Structure 1
């Protein structure tokens, strides 16, 4: 398995977690604001990691071209 496919696989897993956290934050908004904020904060941290992986993928792609 090459590095690009590892990066894409990791990105896919993080995206699934990100979507779950965003949905959880939305569902908790009316009942528990503090828990909603925590879920949203964790989702933002994951989004930052996803963006870093996309940058790495772009870097690898431009190196092979």
Structure 2
């Protein structure tokens, strides 16, 4: 029983550390918005951030930029 509690505590601290590492840098939405305001269109943005163009168009619509 004690071992399971220790494992659970260790897993939760490891998960918190992993989550902290994910949030460095700008989000995809920020990157897409910045590139769109610079005058780039969907295919150029998708090539620069490394995703498919349908994802970029969905995010542009969600951000109400198009």
With normalisation by structure 2, the TM-score equals 0.38
Q: Which has the higher contact order (CA 8 A, sep 6+)?
A: 1
TM superposition score normalised by structure 1: 0.39
